[in-house]
């Protein structure tokens, strides 16, 4: 992954005056041509021994260069270069202005200053809570090249958006529920923060959102909507021909000594048109089939179907990114990097 340092957004040599009456700048460089609205001192992150003042979203934070540098390649580079002569100062600290969201920056500082901050996110947190918790930290850690923190965010996301079939099986077994409005938040977040490995599963579960709801969603692009709908058709096709083909078209196993085809036909006649229509509306080819008993076939035929199902699911998992025009898992992995 290539992360470009946000040079355009960060200007440590800005000579804009710091004009807040509540704050007493000891070495503020004044340029009367530029005005700055009142800036609030953030109570949570104003350390008397801080060594840099950062202004974000109308608030200022006095924090430690060493802590920022330790975690971020971008801040490390910024603080390593000699300070320019006209460096704007406040209380003896250099001033840095960032163009990020205030809440994203606060979340990031909480991670940096609270060792167990991620523990505040409970393992069974609903998806909306999880995405709200992680979004700002992921955006900031990506932009400022904080690799360990970014990786932690990705691990949290991957626990709900798996990129391996084993992770998928664990997740399906947990019966985790995905509210549609939370799923669609994950897709733009994955794109913006360069975490494409979570996209195949995010699209997969998006196919269960009713079409009208999907089309009216304001957070997804038209391309994303088109990909969801095209992928849904492909998943249904794969469910019929690859993962659950045995439900529709039965073939006796080579060693079958019973009349399994007749027995099977009798059993599957109960498979109603309505049931098939439900499957078409919400295709779920990765769903583990478990109702083998109702097939009433001989052991050999059952083993054969179980093998087909297992191989079909593995094949489908391999094909999953391609169903949403995302290339291969390997390409997604390479794009995501560390
Ligand atoms: Zn048989």
**Do residues 169 and 288 lie in contact, with contact meaning Cβ atoms separated by under 8 Å?**
yes
Confidence of residue 167 (pLDDT cuts 50, 70, 90): very high
Q: Is the sign of the CA dihedral 120, 123, 127, 130 positive or negative?
A: positive
The residue whose two tokens read 């009208």 is 212
Give me the residue spans of the domains in the chain. 37-121+129-159, 235-324
CA 247 – ligand 1 centroid, Å = 14
Enclosing H/E stretch for 53? strand 52-56
Residue 8 scores a pLDDT above 70: no
Return d(Cα 195, Cα 174) in angstroms, integer. Answer: 23
**Rounded mean pLDDT, 229-251:** 90
Architecture of the 37-121+129-159 domain: 2-Layer Sandwich (3.30)
Q: How far is the CA of 297 from the centre of ligand 1 (A)?
A: 5
3-state helix, strand, coil in the chain (%, to 5): 55, 10, 40
Q: Global pTM?
A: 0.83
Is pLDDT at 249 greater than 60 in this prediction? yes
Ligand 1: centre distance to CA 160 (Å): 39
Specify the pLDDT at position 1: 38
Closest CA to 54 of 8, 108, 96, 12: 96
* Strand duo 59-63 + 40-46: pairing: parallel
Q: What pLDDT digit, counting tens, does each position of 29-39 carry?
A: 433 222 345 67
Residue 31, token pair as written in the block: 């340029």
* Cα gap 282→275, rounded to integer Å: 11
pLDDT in tens, 101-134: 999 999 999 999 999 999 999 988 999 999 999 9
CB distance 336 to 3 below 8 Å = no
Output the CA 248–ligand 1 centroid distance in Å. Answer: 16
Which residue in 150, 78, 79 sits closest to 111, CA to CA? 150
Question: How far does residue 298's CA lie from ligand 1's centre (Å)?
Answer: 4
What size, in residues, is the chain?
Answer: 338
Strands of 52-56's sheet in order across: 40-46, 59-63, 52-56, 93-98, 89-90
Task: Return the pLDDT at 11.
Answer: 45
In the reported structure, the alpha carbon of residue 304 is separated from the centroid of ligand 1 by a whole-number distance in angstroms of 9
pLDDT of amino acid 273: 66
Q: What is the 271 CA–ligand 1 centroid distance (Å)?
A: 20
State the angle between helix axes of 199-206 and 222-238 in degrees (0 to 180), rounded to the nearest 10. 80
């Amino acid at each position: 992954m290539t992360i470009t340092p946000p040079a355009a957004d960060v200007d440590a040599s800005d000579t804009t005056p710091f004009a807040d009456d509540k704050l007493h700048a000891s070495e503020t460089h004044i340029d009367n041509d530029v005005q700055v609205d009142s800036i609030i001192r953030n109570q949570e992150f104003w350390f008397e021994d801080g060594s840099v003042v950062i202004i974000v979203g109308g608030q200022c934070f006095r924090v430690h260069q060493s802590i920022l540098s330790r975690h971020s390649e971008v801040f490390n580079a910024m603080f390593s270069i000699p300070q320019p002569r006209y460096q704007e100062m406040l209380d003896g600290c250099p001033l840095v202005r960032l163009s990020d969201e205030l809440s994203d920056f606060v979340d990031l500082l909480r991670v940096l200053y609270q060792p167990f901050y991620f523990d505040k996110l409970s393992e069974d947190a609903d998806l909306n809570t999880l995405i709200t918790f992680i979004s700002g930290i992921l955006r900031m850690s990506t932009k400022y090249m904080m690799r360990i923190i970014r990786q932690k965010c990705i691990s949290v996301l991957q626990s709900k958006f798996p990129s391996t079939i084993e992770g998928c099986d664990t997740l399906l077994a947990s019966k985790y529920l995905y509210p549609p409005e939370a799923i669609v938040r994950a897709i733009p977040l994955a794109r913006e923060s360069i975490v494409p490995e979570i996209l195949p599963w995010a699209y997969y579960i998006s196919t269960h959102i009713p079409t009208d709801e999907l089309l009216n969603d304001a957070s997804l692009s038209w391309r994303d909507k088109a990909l969801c709908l095209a992928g849904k058709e492909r998943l249904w096709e794969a469910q019929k021909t690859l993962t659950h083909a045995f439900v529709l078209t039965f073939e006796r196993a080579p060693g079958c000594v019973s009349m399994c085809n007749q027995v099977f036909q009798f059993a599957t006649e109960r498979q109603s048109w309505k049931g098939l229509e439900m499957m078409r509306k919400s295709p779920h080819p990765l769903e583990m089939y478990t109702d083998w008993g109702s097939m009433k076939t001989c052991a050999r035929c059952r083993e054969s179907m179980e093998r087909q199902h297992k191989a079909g699911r593995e094949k489908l998992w391999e094909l999953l990114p391609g169903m949403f025009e995302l290339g291969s898992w390997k390409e997604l992995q390479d794009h995501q990097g560390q």
